[in-house]
Amino acid sequence: MDELIQNVRNVHAKNYLNEAIAAYRTGAYRASLIATWIAVCVDIIEKLRELSLSEDPAAKKWEQQLDKIQPNDPRAMLDFERNLLNIACDELQLISTIEKSHLERLKDDRNICAHPTFSDDGSQFSPPAELALAYIVQSANYLLVHPPVKGKVIVKRLYELINESSFPEGEEKAFTLLSSENNLGRVKDSGVRNLAILILKRIFRDETGVSQELLNRLSASLSAIQRLYPEIYEEVISNKLAGMLSEANDTRLKRIFPFLNLRNELWSKVEYAERVRIEGIIHAMGSEEISKYQVTRLVEINADIRKQVFEKIDRLNDVEKAKAIAASPSVFFKDRSIHLFSESLSFNSAEFRGNQLLLPISSTFNDKDLESIFNGAIDNTGSHGINQVLNAGAIGAFFSGLYTETKAAPLNHRALWENFWERVSEKGFSYNALREKLIEDQYIAPNEDEEDDDEIPF
At 131-190, the pLDDT tens digits run 999 999 999 999 999 888 666 677 888 999 999 999 999 999 999 999 987 788 777 788
Residues 6+ apart with CB under 8 A from 442: none
Distance, CA of 368 to chain centre: 39
Q: What's residue 118's pLDDT?
A: 54
Question: Which ranges of the chain have pLDDT less than 70?
Answer: 117-123, 149-152, 448-458
* Best CA proximity match to 352, nearest among 323, 324, 385, 330: 323
Distance, CA of 317 to chain centre: 37
Measured between alpha carbons, how far is residue 194 from residues 102, 151, 159 in Å? 29, 9, 10
Measured between alpha carbons, how far is residue 141 from residues 3, 98, 123, 147, 388 in Å? 12, 13, 33, 11, 75
Q: Looking at the DSSP assignment, which residues form a beta bridge with residue 150?
A: 187
Q: What is the spatial distance between Cα 235 and Cα 228, in angstroms, rounded to a whole number?
A: 14
198 in Cβ contact with 159 (< 8 Å)? yes
* Best CA proximity match to 373, nearest among 401, 345, 341: 341
Q: What's residue 115's pLDDT?
A: 79
Q: Looking at the DSSP assignment, which residues form a beta bridge with residue 187?
A: 150
Q: What is the spatial distance between Cα 416 and Cα 403, in angstroms, rounded to a whole number?
A: 10
**3-state SS record for the chain:** CHHHHHCCCCHHHHHHHHHHHHHHHCCCHHHHHHHHHHHHHHHHHHHHHHHHHCCCHHHHHHHHHHHHCCCCCHHHHHHHHHCHHHHHHHHCCCCCHHHHHHHHHHHHHHHHHHCCCCCCCCCCCCCCHHHHHHHHHHHHHHHHCCCCCECHHHHHHHHHHHCCCCCCCCHHHHHHHHCCCCCCCCECHHHHHHHHHHHHHHHHCCCCCCCHHHHHHHHHHHHHHHHHCHHHHHHHHHHHHHHHHHHCCHHHHCCHHHHHHHCHHHHHHCCHHHHHHHHHHHHHCCHHHHHHCCHHHHHHCCHHHHHHHHHHHHHCCHHHHHHHHHHCCCHHHHHHHHHHHHCCCCHHHHHHHHHHHHHHHHHHCCHHHHHHHHHHHHHCCCCCCCCCCCCCCCHHHHHHHHHHHCCCCCCCHHHHHHHHHHHHHHCCCCCHHHHHHHHHCCCCCCCCCCCCCCCCCC
Single pTM value for the model: 0.69
Residues 6+ apart with CB under 8 A from 59: 48, 49, 50, 51, 52, 92
Q: What's residue 454's pLDDT?
A: 47
